[in-house]
Every structure is written in structure tokens, then in C-alpha cells.
Structure 1
Amino acid sequence: MKTATPTFINEQAIHDILEKHSQPDFAQVRDVLAKASEMKGLKLEEVAILSGISDPTLLEELFQTANQIKDTIYGKRLVLFAPLYISNLCANECTYCAFRAKNKAIVRKALNQEEVRHETEALIKQGHKRVLLVAGESYPKQGFQYVLDSVRSVYAARHNDTEIRRVNVNVAPLTDEEFKLLKAENIGTYQLFQETYHRQTYQKVHIGGKKMDYNWRVTALHRAMEAGIDDVGIGVLFGLYDARFELLAMMQHIFELERVFGVGPHTISVPRMEPATGSDVASHPPFPVSNLEFRKIVAILRLAVPYTGIIMSTRETAKMRRETFALGVSQISAGSRTNPGGYEEEVEDEVSGQFSLGDHRPLDEVIRDVAEMGYIPSFCTGCYRLGRTGQDFMDLAKPGAIKAHCGPNALSSFMEYLNNYASPQTYETGIQLIEKTIAGMKGLPGERARKLVERVKQGEKDMFC
């Protein structure tokens, strides 16, 4: 059955707006930055104005505004997670991806449930508390049940009476019934990238498999939310088409979710194309995004959707990741492997991985680096287990009330990491940061933080408010 064509991605409108605002003047940009500072989001034309900035002075003002908004809403927290690739089997032909069906240059593997548990245990031993379960868009003989079984295996895994507390999922678009089954497994966020919103480019780079159906993919988040999944994650693969177009198209998608469901995506991911085994396209992006343009994208998104999490993966180098923390990034992966079985084997295998990594550091080194910069590494999953998701989360976030929970919970989860997993050097760095941070907290958040951290110091786990 052919999927109906949705109308919420309007390419002509995007092109018209971009042409109109290709060279915004200082007054236009500063008006938009002033509005953005109110932290109520931006309209499509305002995003276009910011995307047209090239003057160094205005760029610096953009970055400063993004930093102020990030600090006001999120403070110095950075949420950490790890991707867990369970399979690189795929039925699609995506020219930029190593997992594409006809690529003979990679070794195919689908983890069985015992291997999924072992991979999860390896992540728990590192100190991780949340994972993003990822699978190529084809499954072993169990079909979609394989994904459901894998989610259960992750939640069931234990090491020293510790477990993964939240499983997010990135798998192929599902039917209404499949989304309901996925929701029943107590997942957190369902994540799906459109890759590119430009239809002609989409058809050019997707040349086989069900992923050729643009409409089926672009409406997947609607089906997920209709099935009761509160939190969804969105994103594009920057480099396939003009980044300014992709930004505005993604905003159209966000506005449509807000119109229909009253709330937009919980997270936005900003992957740039990286080399992938067996793909010439991945090594030579048709529309490469420079480091400066990439920083600009992150900053604009922070202004456009101030309360939405922005995810930065290990595709990027350690240097680039550091530079984007102050511009709006609120979640990062660390110690990542994109090959099934990579954590237990402690091997980063590009022969079976999806793409090349830019940040190869282990989790402990990333955490120490983050802490030395003054950011609190957070492993907290409290909101999801207390039902503060979807609209309920936004109702607390927009008036600033969520910070009274997030700050203390981040410190508590960081203290738990330091107690049980940190190297001596990371422990010392972390303790100093926690003490300094609590000393600077006032009122109820400070009281909560002190109590939670002290309980964790005494050996309690999973403390949150």
C-alpha cells in the first residue's frame, strides 16, 4: 500500500524563504537574537535569517546568545549515553551507509540475546546507565520480535547489582501496532532520522529497500506518538543536501508535531557525514558542512527550539564536541562502538561498523575532560521513571521548574559514577567539581543536591528527585 503524501514539508516555501533572507542585515539578525533570548522559540523565517549569517561579528553574537540560553535552561549538565548496535543486517540500499544491503566490504553480524546481554554488561561495567539500541533495517528470522527481545535483554542485564536504567531505540519505521508493542517494552525515546528532507536527493541516495519510501519515513514519528510514545528524537544527516534547507525542513517537521500533538521532539541529533566502508559518497559529501557552519547549526537549533535536547555523537572529534557544548549540545555519546559486539570485544571494528568515529576516547577520559571544563556529566534517568516525559516534561521545563530536579539528579548520578567506576584522577576532578557546584546552588535545589550526594557517598544507588 502506497503511503499518502504529507504536506507539512513544503520545499517551495523553504526555497522562497531562503532566497528572501540570503543576506540578512545587522538589524534583522539582532532583532531575531533579541527575540530568541526570550526562550520562546523561533519561526521559520527567523531561522532562515540566522542561517544566512556570515559576518564574524554577528556569528559571535549568535554563539553568545546560544551560550546564554543553554546555560539558563540546562546549566552545566551534559547527559551521557552509549549506542548499542545489535545488528548490521540491512535490506536497504543507502549509498552513504556501510550497512547497505549489497555492500560486501563489511562483516555481517546480528547479536543473539546472550550476546546482547554481554554487550550490555560491558557497558554497565564502564558506568553507563542509558543506551541507544540501534539495528540495521533488517532483522534475523524472528523479525521485529528480535528488537523487542533485545530491549528486554538490555533491561535484564546486571553487573554488581547495577543495570541499564533507560533504553532508547533507533530502528526502522514501524507500523502502528509495532509502535504499540515497542511502547509496551518501557522504552524511552524512539529516534529516527529522515537523513534528508529534500525529496530529489532522498530518492537519489536511497536506491533500494523500503527506505526508498520518503512518505513512510517522514510520518513515522506521527505513528510513534499516536501509539503513546511520549518522547521522539529527530535529525538529518548533514552533507547530503544544503544544510540551510535541511534546517528549515526539520523545523517544518517539528512545527507539525507540535501542531498535531502539542509537543515536538524530545531530542534533535546533528550527525555530519563521515567515511563509511564501501561508500564513496560518505567520503565525499555532496554538500560538505564546514566546522564553522556546523557550530552555527547547533547554535541556531538551540535558539529555535530552546527546550529540546541536542545530541552530539562520537562522529565528531573531541575538539569539535568541546566547542559545541557551550552552543547548545546537552547530550553526548561516549566510548562508542558502531560494530555489533564491539564493547565486549573492546574493539572498534570499521569492517563491521556503520561509519568512522572522530572521538575514540574511553568513557572515563571523556568524563574527566567534561568535568575539567566545568560541566557535570549526568547519567540521570529520573524523569522517565517518574513520568516526566512528553508534554509533562515541557510543562516543567518552560517555566524553569525542571532545573530543581535536573541539577541535583545530575550530581547524584555523577557521584554514583565516581564511587563505582572512575579512575583516581577522574575521581579527584569530579569530587572537586561536585563540591564547587553544590556550594554555588541556592535554595531547594542546593538542599536536594546535598542530601542526594551524601546518600550516594554512603553507598546508596539510583538517587533522584
Structure 2
Amino acid sequence: MGRTIVTKLKTKPDFIDRKKLEHLGSLNEPDEGRRQEIISKARELKGLDLDEAAELLACSSPEAVQDLLSAAAFVKQEIYGPRMVLFAPLYAGNKCCNDCLYCGFRRSNTELTRVTLTREAIAAETLELLRQGHKRLLLLTGEAAEYTMDYTLMALETMYSVRDRKGSSIRRINVELAPMSVDNFRRLKEGKIGTYTCFQETYDPDLYRQYHPAGPKADYHWRLEVMDRAMEAGIDDVGLGVLFGLADYRKEVLSMLMHAAHLEERFGCGPHTVSVPRLEPALGAPVSESVPYPVSDLDFKKLVAVLRLTLPYTGIILSTRESAQLRSELFRYGVSQVSAGSRTNPGGYGEEQTREEEFSHSQFSLGDHRSLAEVVDNLADYGLVPSFCTGCYRMGRTGSDFMDLAKPGLIRQFCLPNGLATFAEYLEDYAPEELKKKGLTLIERIAADQQESIASMIRENSARVAGGERDIYV
């Protein structure tokens, strides 16, 4: 199994069909019969087409949205089971040459304290995250001349090299970095990254120009083409995203779906993940002070559900921008990856800071300030498996190979045992005693509900972890 060989882009991409977008973005809400017809199709786990997604996005009543959420929960459970992947962002620097009006890192923000982490500081941040129990990180920086590919590769090498007192290390590092050339993407791949993520921010070209008045990021098409260049360079897993609140959320979701369809058509594999951040207050960022296109909690839950129903095999990432209460609700309704214990300021993990001090260094304000242990405890209360698994990536189940397993429903046989093994590791090495008891009870309860072969593997893995083995996966 392998990815389709493609030719280079010779013209600017035109996969965002503006005329169709205008039409679909203004559809009226379907009646209940039509809504149930679309939901029934989604429950077959084969996804939805663009028109059907647009119809569901037009739903407005709480009852209709709850129907979508229930269906999204079913789809996520059928494909991935109860696992929820956990990670943390590590910001290596907040210097930036762009002037994005919604971002605290913007170059015109003179109130922000600028920091670039040294190798030693990156190692210290990584060690602190390991001590909390993290195994998966997301590396981020601003866009500045000093954040060269050499700097990025140094940061990756440093992060992978750190060990805590238990001998644990970071097993997967995803990156969220500025767009780059195909040649630099090839170098980036040599750094053993996981998923490459880059948000379009908004797919509306006119609004995009307004929000990005200066800097390399002002080039709309350079950013829009970034996933083509990344995949052309051999990066299997890419992650799409927009910043909800910058434009009409319905058109943004539909544009992201068009982008996903373009990647699927050109490379034989769509995005590995989609991210759904909402615009939050940021120091020195005027657009964040008054959100141009607010997205209510109800509409936000709806768009998460529609993404899950339309792209059933794609990971949906929910950040700590959202409140603990809303995140806890969405844990059950289609989200499959969440950050926990996050800081969005360079060096933020290694020192105690007040909320005000943290805000003065950060890209944006956080809504969920819970620690990793508190998020894990919350997930366990819902019967969800906090997973630090990296097995698929290290076994080569990435890109189209991953989708070949996901679409017939085979990926779950790896996700559940591997996720539970990493959960058992966390419980043994990092969890408070009460959480450990709760977690071990959950593992046994889940094992008891599985067919014998899977149940036996889960129990055997847990026993091996209790006996001192680590990093068990298939």
C-alpha cells in the first residue's frame, strides 16, 4: 500500500468552489425526515457528501443538534472505540514577522514579552511535560527569521532525547509550523515528525487579506497550497484547521471539507486531523476583542458533529481554548484528540505564573486550566480511555495505509489495546492513587466487554505494565 504519485502544482489551486460555497452556505434547515435520512446514511460510517454536510449545518434547533451529536458519538465509538488521545503543545518561541490581527504573537504587539527557547530550555520544558505523564507533544513557534529549519530540527532532536527519572521519553512530536518549501518539508520529515499541521485561519480570501495585513502570512495561496507541498515531500499525515470566529462558520466548515476532498483526490488520502479552535482573547490583538463572526456553543457543537459525520475516519482535535465544561461535553460527541494541561507561552511549563502573567506571554487565553491528571480523571468518569498511544505511527500505519485499516473498521483492534496499555503506564507511573484505582477498574470493565482475544490482550498488556514493561504496542 502506498500513496499515489502526483505531479507538481503548476497553477494556483482552485479547489474552493466559491459559487457552490455561497449556495450551500445559505441553505435552509432540512425537515426532520430529511435530517434523519442524512443521519442514517452517516451511521453507515461512509461519510457524507458536501451537500449533505451543508444541510446538517443549517440545523438550528437544540433537538436537531442533539440528534447530530448522538450520531457523531455513535460514529466515533464504532471506528475508534472509547479512546481519547492526549497531547500538550510546546511553544519554542513567540517572535513573529507577521501581523495577524487576532494573534498575541503579532509583530505589532509591543506588550508581549518575546522569547526564543534555547536547547536547554526546550529540554527543561520537555522534562516537565514528561513528569506530568505526557508522551505526545505538538511543537510550535512564531514565524521569524531565527526559526530556521536547523533550529526546528534541533528542537525536535532535543525533545526526543530527553528522559525523565523513570526512563520515559516523548514518543511522537507533531508540529504546527509556518508554510515552507517542498525541500524544507523533506528536511522536516527527516526530523521524525508525526503530523504536520497548519491552519488556513479563514478560507475567505477577502477576509483573509483584512486579517493579515503584513508579513509572509499575507500570501493567501502560499498558505492554501501548503498541504500539497507537504504531501508532495512525503509527509503522510497532515492536519487542517480554521480559526472559527473570523468568518461564517458554515462556509468555513464547507471550505475545509472541499480542502479535504482535494487532498483525497490528489494524493489518495485526506487529512489525518482537523482542528476546531474558536477565536479567544489575546493580548494586543484587536480582532480578538470583538469577534467578527461569533460562533455560539450550540453551533460549535453542531459543527464538531457534522465534521465527525462527514469525515468519520479523521481525527478531530479540541484545544484548551474551550471551557472545561464544554470540553467535557464534547469528549462524548465525536472529538478524538484533546490537549491537556496546556500553556501557550514559551517556557510556561517550568515556572509558576499567575493567570495575568501567563496571558502577557501567550498567543491566546485558555478556557480549560485543568492539569493533565484532572483531564484524565474526567475522561475516566465518562468511561473514556485516556490514550498516549503512538503505535500506528511507529508501525507505519500512516497516511493512506492508516485509512485502508480505518475504513473497513479494522483500526479499532489496534486502538483499544494500545491505548489501554499506555493508560496503564500512566496509571502506574504518574497518576495519584485514587485515579490509579479508578483507571484500573475502568480497564478491567472495558476488557470484560470485549471479545475474548481482545480482552486477553488487554489483560496481558496490563499485567506486563504492572510488572515493569513499558512501550507495549502492536
**TM-score when normalising by structure 1:** 0.97
Q: 1:91 aligns with which of 94, 97, 105?
A: 97
Structure 1 residue 120 and structure 2 residue 126: aligned? yes
1:289-328 superposed matches below 5 A: 289-328=295-334
Q: Name the amino acid aligned to 1:452.
A: N
The equivalent position to 2:419 in structure 1, one of 380, 396, 410, is: 410
Instruction: Give the CA RMSD over aligned residues.
Output: 1.3
Matched AA of 2:402: F
CA distance in 1, matches of 2:29, 2:378: 38
Aligned match of 1:146: 151
Tell me: CA distance 1:115–1:323, structure 2 relative to 1, closer, same or farther (3 Å): same
The amino acid of 2:369's aligned partner reads H
Query: Which residue in the other structure is 1:32 paired with?
Result: 38
Q: Deviations over 1:305-348 (max 9, x none)?
A: 00100001100011110111122100000000000001111436
- Residues 403-434 of structure 1 show CA distances to partners (whole Å, capped at 9, x for unaligned) of 11110111110010011111112111111111
CA distance in 1, matches of 2:145, 2:436: 41
| Maintained 8 Å contact 1:42/1:303 | yes
Q: 1:212 is matched with which residue: 212, 218, 242?
A: 218
Q: Aligned partners of 1:437 and 1:28: how far apart in 2?
A: 36
Confirm or deny: 8 A CA contact 1:405 1:445 kept in the other structure: no
Q: Deviations over 1:281-305 (max 9, x none)?
A: 1121100000000000100000000
SS at 1:133's partner residue?
Answer: strand
1:371–1:377 contact (8 Å) kept in structure 2? yes
Q: Give yes or no for contact 2:153–2:191 (8 Å, CA) kept in 1.
A: yes
2:179 is the counterpart of 1:173: yes
User: What is the identity, as a one-letter code, of the residue corresponding to 2:16?
Assistant: I
SS class of match (2:74):
helix
Residues 1:433 and 2:439 aligned together: no
Range with bigger deviation, 323-332 or 265-274: 323-332
| From 189, 193, 207, the counterpart of 2:195 | 189
Aligned to 2:375: 366
- In 2, distance between residues paired with 1:164 and 1:313? 20
Alignment of 1:265-414 (within 5 A): 265-347=271-353, 349-414=358-423
2:64 and 2:382 mapped to 1: Cα distance?
A: 26
List per-residue Cα deviations over 1:170-216 (Å, max 9, x = no partner).
Answer: 00001000000000111100000000000111000001100000100
How many residues were matched structurally?
Answer: 462
Contact persistence 2:69–2:334 (CA under 8 A) = no
Structure 1 Cα separation of the partners of residues 256 and 230 of structure 2: 17
Q: Percent identity?
A: 49
Whole-Å Cα distance in 2 between the matches of residues 22 and 213 of structure 1?
A: 34
Q: Partner of 1:157 in structure 2?
A: 162
**1:16 maps onto 2:28 in alignment:** no
Structure 2 CA distance, aligned partners of 1:402 and 1:294? 28
Residue in 1 aligned with 2:13?
Answer: 6
State the match for 2:7 in structure 1: none
Instruction: Report the alpha carbon displacement of residue 4 of structure 1 after superposing the two structures with TM.
Output: 4.4
Secondary structure of the structure 1 residue equivalent to 2:338: strand
Cα offsets for 1:29-48 (capped at 9, x unmatched): 22211111111111111111
Q: Which amino acid aligns with 1:109?
A: V
Q: What residue is the counterpart of 1:77 in the other structure?
A: 83
Aligned-partner Cα distance in 2 for 1:212–1:274: 21
2:244 paired residue number: 238
**1:444: how far off?**
2.4
The runs of at least 4 aligned residues of structure 1 exceeding 3 Å deviation read: none
**Which structure 1 residue ranges, 5 or more long, are not aligned?**
none
For residues 434-454 of structure 1, the C-alpha deviation after alignment (integer angstroms, 9 at most, x for no partner) is 111111111322221111111
TM-score when scaled to structure 2? 0.95
- In the TM superposition, what is the alpha-carbon distance from 1:228 to its structure 2 partner? 0.7
In structure 1, which of residues 182, 187, 199 is the aligned counterpart of residue 205 of structure 2? 199
Rounded Cα–Cα distance in structure 1 between residues aligned with 2:193 and 2:43: 34
Distance in 2, Cα, partners of 1:216 & 1:86: 24
Aligned equivalents of 1:76 and 1:28: distance in 2?
Answer: 29
